[in-house]
Amino acid sequence: MLLITSARIASEHSPDLTEADVYLADGKIQRIGKGIQVPEGTRTLDARGRILMPGMFDAHVHFREPGFEAKETIASGAEAAINGGVTGVVMMPNTSPALDNGTVIGQVLDIARRTARIPVYTSGCVTKGRHGKELAGIDGMRAHGVVMLTDDGDTTGDPAVLLRAMQYATEFGMFFASHCEVPELAGPRALNEGAMSYRLGIKGSPACAEEIIIDRDIRLAHAAGAHIHIQHVSSKLGMETIRWWKQRGDVKVTAEIAPHHLLFTDEDIGDYDTHYKMNPPLRTKADNEALLEGLIDGTFDLIATDHAPHTPFEKSQDFVSAPNGITGLDTALVSLHHHFVATGKFGWDLLVKRFSAEPRRFMGLPVAAIEEGLPVDLVLFDPERETTFTADFMKSKSRNTPFLDQTLKGSVDLVVLGGEILLDRA
């Protein structure tokens, strides 16, 4: 039993923060109001000045298990999520073996049930081994509750195969998420094609390599009557393409934005800093500004971190050889607050909508909210306290983030899910 007093409650429905006391017991929100009478022995937590919000939900993470456990396990990834105020995640299928059949999906979900303290869902491959040639075992994956199909990490290269998958799986309520990239144009996938790539002497990846597949895959979904979700959009024109299709209204298209594509540009790479190497690559300030506009106006339905852990050895290679990816679960909520909420660029309502409510709706899950009678799924956030992302603070097994050793404004103080306090810095 826990009574949180004088909390400022954030909701997707209103920019205003209502101050109230919230009483939690038996895994549910029992009362919201003032002067709540509680049983003797109830813990009371003064939350004056702090924000009480639903737990975040990340619909795009790479937990690396099975096959790459040195980078991340399901258990360590879940702890990184909790550390950052995230109470549910969806794994991508680019593991080894790939998540392309019911047997391996079942094994992964069993590991998650045994080792993770938050719900862990998984996507499944469109094609066997993500090779783009032959359809994966869609029926077997569907039997384990998989609803999202993606060859993330790569584009499904053969459009005829993707169209066939859409025509088949859409009948069963499944949808498709696309990593958009023409490999022949993308080159070594190192960084954006532009002034920075020329200065560093590395062949760049032009934005059109992404934008061509964004349009292609939406057109395929339009032909098949499928739901298509565009992952980790990085360019202004890519975002405008999605907006155009949404305005037509005759295809179901959703899209996500990753925090790093809002916060960083290719100029941050500096002297070959591999912490800024990711795919799609960081692009320009003009792209960032357009992507932020797309988040605010609803072109982007959700925020997703694309949490992609790698070992220090891998990231210490030369810039072209080092793998793409940045961790995000430990850092996303604080960094979004520091750069956007605290600076007035958007409010708590938008953050809750795009990083908590819409990702759950996207996956067909109940939306978490601070309302009487609902299951407890909440985060207490201190907007005045600071967080320093030291190696000791981070819970991910990997530390490949530009935020390492940086101090940002904001702190995840408490995470409660059901009847369990998962994190307590309050």
For this structure, is 382 an active site residue?
no
Catalytic residue, candidates 306, 377, 382, 413:
306
d(CA 297, CA 160): 33
Adjacent-strand bridge partners of 228? 176, 253
Using H for helix, E for strand and C for coil, what is the string for the chain? CEEEEEEEEEECCEEEEEEEEEEEECCEEEEEECCCCCCCCCEEEECCCCEEEECEEEEEECCCCCCCCCCCCHHHHHHHHHHCCEEEEEECCCCCCCCCCHHHHHHHHHHHHHHCCCCEEECECCEHHHCCCCECCHHHHHHCCCCEECCCCCCCCCHHHHHHHHHHHHHHCCEEEECCCCHHHHCCCCCECCHHHHHHCCCCECCHHHHHHHHHHHHHHHHHCCEEEECCCCCHHHHHHHHHHHHHCCCEEEEEECHHHHHCCHHHHCCCCHHHCCCCCCCCHHHHHHHHHHHHHCCCCEECCCECCCCHHHHCCCCCCCCCCECCCCCHHHHHHHHHHCCCCCCHHHHHHHHHHHHHHHCCCCCCCCCCCCECEEEEEEEEEEEECCCCCCCCCCCCCCCCCCEEEEEEEEEEECCEEEEECC
Residues carrying an active site annotation: 306
